[in-house]
Amino acid sequence: NMPAAAVMSWLVAVLVFLLQTDAVSALPRPLIVVVLHGGEVQVQTCGYWVMLVCPMVFLFVGLFWQSLHKPRMVFVDKFCIHQTDEGLKKEGIRGIAGFLKHSDRLVVLWTSSYFERLWCSYELASWIHLDKSDIYFVPVSLAAVAGLMTCGIFSQHALLFLLEASLGYQFDLKSILLLGCVNMFLVTISARSHSKELAQLPSQISKFAVQRTRCFCCDNGHVHPVSQQAIPCDRKLVYRALEGWFTSLG
């Protein structure tokens, strides 16, 4: 949804800018008193509509764009497979390969623990077994970097507007760049953490072994921690499926 959100917010920015110009004056602009560096006092109009409207348009389109045009069906294992009813859960697990067979793309929301989880490895093996290659690895930490950058830019503009409107002080280019450097410093810290995590991916793929993966049943000794009832071993089910798929490959 992000490309659509970026285009829509840019178009709205152009439209709002034209509506608040002196030639159109369709949107009101408050008067503010500005004290220049030489002590000169000026009364100026403040066009704040772009800073207020565009971030809201970006968030709205980014969250709901899939509902505004032809819907796209998505299978998300954590939400589509029942997590408490063992019977429904077993049926959902058995149907994973069927859902993948009718899917056009596999999007992996990757974290550093992805290849340590048994069922994540099973889904990836199912996709490979179906001879499909359209796989997208999307690091979850990338959302934090993008979110921090968006919030930082919006906060910077909002802070400048509030200070100008309340204090009547017109910021020069150096002040704006200084605030921008503070914002980029925080984004850089988050981006460094993201890069370090992403650098682990090639090593994880090259050293992957399904025997080292973890699953809920084995981690709890095949006893449910709440009900204290015995639970079947998922690992045996996965191994049986993998042996049937890849034994002929050696």
| pLDDT number for residue 248 | 54
Q: Mind listing the pLDDT tens digit for each residue in 193-241? A: 878 888 888 888 888 888 888 888 888 888 888 888 888 888 887 888 7
The answer, yes or no, to whether residue 89 has pLDDT greater than 70, is yes
The answer, yes or no, to whether residue 22 has pLDDT greater than 50, is yes
Q: How far is CA 2 from CA 7, 27, 160, 217, 246, in A?
A: 9, 28, 26, 38, 38
Question: What band does 249 get if pLDDT is binned at 50, 70 and 90?
Answer: very low
- Span 80-90, average pLDDT: 75
Question: What pTM was computed for the model?
Answer: 0.60
Q: Mind listing the pLDDT tens digit for each residue in 136-175? A: 888 888 877 877 777 777 777 777 767 666 665 566 667 6
Distance from C-alpha of 201 to C-alpha of 209, rounded to nearest angstrom: 14
b vs e for 16-33, b when ≥16 Cβ sit within 10 Å of the residue's Cβ?
A: beeebeeeeeebeeeebe
What's at 215, amino acid-wise? C
Q: What percent of the chain has pLDDT over 90?
A: 0
The answer, yes or no, to whether residue 35 has pLDDT greater than 60, is no
Which residue from 79, 135, 75 is spatially nearest to 108, judged by alpha carbons?
135
Per-residue H/E/C for 5-38: HHHHHHHHHHHHHHHCCCCCCCCCCCEEEEECCC
Q: Check residues 35 and 101 and name the one with the higher pLDDT.
A: 101
- Average pLDDT value for the chain: 78
- Span 24-29, average pLDDT: 73
Question: What band does 61 get if pLDDT is binned at 50, 70 and 90?
Answer: confident
At 151, which helix (H) or strand (E)? helix 141-167
b vs e for 211-245, b when ≥16 Cβ sit within 10 Å of the residue's Cβ?
A: eebebebeeeeeeeeeeeeebeebbebbeebbeee
Give the three-state DSSP class for 64. Answer: helix
The answer, yes or no, to whether residue 9 has pLDDT greater than 80, is yes
Q: Check residues 44 and 35 and name the one with the higher pLDDT.
A: 44
Q: How far is CA 220 from CA 57, 89, 113, 226, in A?
A: 46, 18, 18, 11
